[in-house]
Amino acid sequence: MKKNINIAIVGLGQIGIYLYNELKSKKNEIEKKTGKKIKIVAISAKNKNKKRKYPIQKNIFFKKPLEIFKNKKIDILFECIGLSNGISRKIVETALKKRIHVITPNKALISKHGDSLAKLAEQNNVNLEFEASVAGGIPILRTIKEGLATNRINKVYGILNGTTNYILSEMENSNENFDKVLQKAQKLGYAEPGNPKLDLNGFDAFAKVRILSALSFNTKISKYNCIMEGIENIKLEDIKIASQLGLRVKLLGISQIINGKLFETVHPCLVSKKTYIGNVNGVMNAVITEGKPVGESILQGEGAGPGPTSSSLLSDLLSILRGNIKHPFGISSKKRKSVKPFNNDNYTNSLYLRFEVNDKQGVLSLITNRLTKYKISVKRIIQTPDKKNKKATIVIITHKTNEKNAKNCLSIFRGNKNILKFPTLIRLYN
């Protein structure tokens, strides 16, 4: 690699502008560590004159990002727009075809088009790096690709979304309901002010699960339908009851190989307050890998925000500047296998069920009879009467049962006049 390296940044949102400033201020340090002189020769965003956190050099600004390729000689491009398709995909593809290395924190793009983009990078002998796409500042992808390279990983899971983890922690701490805490998260910059949906409904975590699976198991990125649930339906009441039971609600992303088949999921889980994962609170992310021979490894760190993300983007940059040409997913695209999906119906867990019922004779036995019919045995039952309104809350913790059975069993409660709402279901993490 030559000594002088030209860099372009496309997208100057929260991440892009922070990165721009970091690259400028760490030029000398980067030269010291790699022997390479970097220069930002092009930047691009929608609006040249928008007020930004750091001032930009307007003479290298391009309104249309694709113009950069015509006007500048670029060696490394940062894609910081963040779309799963459209201009993000176009720019990355164009860059790779022009033998320009690409670095991106864009999990939506990688989880959707990672396979074809990786192939393109390999064909053109350049790097496609996306450490920042999963778990912000935690170098988890590098750890799986390099640090744990010869381990046979059979499971990878964790808390992959800082926004939802903050909301769940804060609901417990402040005793405030979901909507109030979401507003707080938006004020603090943890949740998107406009549309926090992709964080809340589990989509963001799920994209990360897909990337982690591909790296951990050396497989193609899966496209299967999976169980994806967010935290929108978690009520303060559930958090309080869980707390009394020594449990905490966490949105976990889980990927594992079960009997040679791939199982990926994102859903709220009840975990013991005594476990490690039960104590990862606030905006923290944590990723746990189980492998042989290494055993269980844990990485924890700040999972969101421009600081941690930028740390990962720069680690990718240094890796490229040091001349490490690598397969984007650790091994050659040709060698990455497809894998069959595990049947979601067979996913087995203990369940937390909360029923809101009319406090009438026979309601409890209606519920327990129905559970018995489906061979779902009860581990614990807590009935709390609301005398004034002649209602009651019944919480049941069941022994293990599978998804299909649980779904069939609960279906009946949708129409019953004494069951006031369809029961809330949260899986216990085992």
Q: Tokens 């369940």 appear where?
A: 351
Judged by beta carbon, residue 314 or residue 351, the one nearer a second copy is 314
Least distance to a second copy from the beta carbon of 285, Å? 10
146 DSSP 8-state letter: I
Angle (CA) 290-132-329 rounded to 5° is 60
Q: Where are the beta strands (DSSP E) in 273-338?
A: 284-292, 295-302
Residues that bind a second copy (CB under 8 A): 18, 22, 26, 29-30, 32-33, 131, 137-139, 142-143, 146-151, 276, 279, 286, 291-302, 306-308, 310-312, 314-315, 317-319, 322-324, 326, 330-331, 335
Judged by beta carbon, residue 19 or residue 394, the one nearer a second copy is 19
Judged by beta carbon, residue 231 or residue 320, the one nearer a second copy is 320
285, 298 Cβ separation under 8 angstroms: no
Judged by beta carbon, residue 104 or residue 319, the one nearer a second copy is 319
Helices 306-321 + 14-25 axis angle, to 10: 50
Question: Which helix (H) or strand (E) covers residue 404, if one does?
Answer: helix 403-411
Sign of CA dihedral 350, 227, 281, 396: negative
Judged by beta carbon, residue 251 or residue 314, the one nearer a second copy is 314
Least distance to a second copy from the beta carbon of 183, Å? 24
264 vs 357: CA distance, rounded Å: 34
What token pair was written down for 335? 């060698």
Judged by beta carbon, residue 98 or residue 335, the one nearer a second copy is 335
Q: Where are the beta strands (DSSP E) in 303-377?
A: 348-349, 351-358
Q: Pick the catalytic residue from 3, 208, 400, 421.
A: 208
Backbone φ, ψ for residue 211 (5° rounding) = -70, -45
Least distance to a second copy from the beta carbon of 401, Å? 31
Confirm whether 24 is a catalytic residue.
no
Q: Tokens 């350049």 appear where?
A: 126
187 exposure class (CB count in 10 Å sphere: 0-12, 13-18, 19+): exposed
- Greatest distance between any 2 Cα atoms in the chain: 81
CA 230 to chain centre: 11
Omega within 30 of 0 (cis) for the link into 293: yes
Least distance to a second copy from the beta carbon of 321, Å? 10
Least distance to a second copy from the beta carbon of 109, Å? 22
Q: Could you list the active site residues?
A: 208
